[in-house]
A = this chain, B = another copy of it.
Amino acid sequence: MKYALGIDFGGTTIKTAIVTSDGQIISRGSVPTGMPATPERLLQTTVGACRRQLEEAGLTPADLCGAGIGMPGTVNQETDCVEYANNLGMTSFPFIRRLRDELGIPVSGGNDADLAALGEYMAGAGKGASSLLLVTLGTGVGGGIIVNGRIWSGCNDAAAEFGHMVIEAGGRPCTCGRRGCFEAYASASALTAQADKKAAEHPDSLIGKVYAASGHVSGKDILQALKEKDAAAKEVFDEYVYYLAMGITNLINIFQPDKLLIGGGISNFGDLLLEPVREHVKTYRYSRYSEKNTEIGIASLKNDAGLIGAAALTKVFE
C-alpha cells in the first residue's frame, strides 16, 4: 500500500500526517511554525517536520506516492512558488519546488482553504458529490470550490473569497476595505462581537453575566446560553443565522453545487445552525421549484480536512 504525506502549513503550527488510500490518517505530528522566520528557515522547519513524520510512522520516502501541502496563501501551480502568503511574509518563493528537492519525492501545493474543500470532497461529508462549496466560518469567512471533482481557484488562485461578497451595501466595515461583506456578519468573530454588544445591553441575561465576569462572550458561551434558552443569546444567534442563510442562498443561486458544507468553529453549533439555515434556503433559493437541489451539511473532517486535501494532491486516492 502506498501512502501520502499531507502537510497543513499554518501561521502557528505545521501539521503533518500520513494518509492512506482510503483517506485515513494513521500517524500525525505537529511542530511550531516559529514565526517570524525567513522563507528559507520555514522551508527547513517543514523539511524537518516531514522527515520526523516519516520516521515516526516507520516509513521511507519510497513508501510514499508523494506529498501535498496546504499554504495560507496563493500557490502558483505552474512555477510551484508560493506567490503571496501575507501572514508568513512570503512572496514569490519556490517553496513547493524546494520541498520536492529536499524530500526527493513529488510534492504539490495549494491554498489551505481549497485543500480543506478537496479533503471534504474526497473523504469527508462531501464524498459522492461532484461539485461542492465549503464555507468556512472562523475568524473570517473563507472556503473552497470543487467543480467536476477539481478545485476551482480562478485565474489567479484567489477564488472562493465567499466572505468578501457584500450582502448589505454600506453595512458593517470589513477588513478588506469594503462595507457590508458577508464576513462582517457570518464569521465567528462577527457572532461574538454582536454577542458582546448584546450582553452589555442585557446584563441580566446569561450572556450578560458571562460578559460581566470575563469581558467577552465566546462561541461556546453562546452555544451554552442557547441550550439554556437565553433570550439575549437567541436574538444574537437568530440575526447571525439570518445573514448566514442569506449569504448561503446567494452562493447556491450562483453555483447550485451538489453539496454545500459549513466548516470552521461555528460548525460546532450543529443542528442549531443547520436547521434554520436549511429552512431559510429552502424558502428563498431561486431554484425552490427544481426537483434537485443543493444539500446543505456540516463539514465532517474538522481540522483534518486540510491534511487530507493536501494528501489528495498526490495520486494516493487514485
Contact = CB atoms under 8 A, between A and B. Distances in A.
A152 B180 CA distance: 28
Contact of A254 (B176, B254, B294): B254
A245 to B, nearest CB: 10
Interface in A5-56: none
B292 A155 contact: yes
A286 B161 contact: yes
Nearest to A293: B156
A260 to B, nearest CB: 10
A153 interface: yes
A103 interface: no
Contact of A155 (B157, B159, B164, B294): B294
Given A167-B166, A169-B167, A169-B168, A156 B290 contact: yes
A294 B131 CA distance: 23
A156 B291 contact: yes
Interface in A255-273: 255-258
A218 interface: no
A74 interface: yes
**Integer count of this chain's copies in the complex:** 2
A80 interface: no
Given A147-B147, A167-B167, A156 B292 contact: yes
Contact of A169 (B83, B171, B178): B171
B169 A246 contact: yes
Contacts of A147: 147-148, 152
A296 B202 CA distance: 49
28 contacts: A83-B290, A131-B154, A147-B147, A148-B150, A152-B255, A154-B294, A155-B256, A155-B293, A156-B256, A156-B287, A156-B291, A156-B293, A158-B287, A159-B256, A161-B254, A161-B286, A162-B253, A162-B254, A165-B250, A165-B254, A166-B167, A166-B246, A168-B180, A169-B171, A177-B284, A178-B249, A178-B284, A254-B254
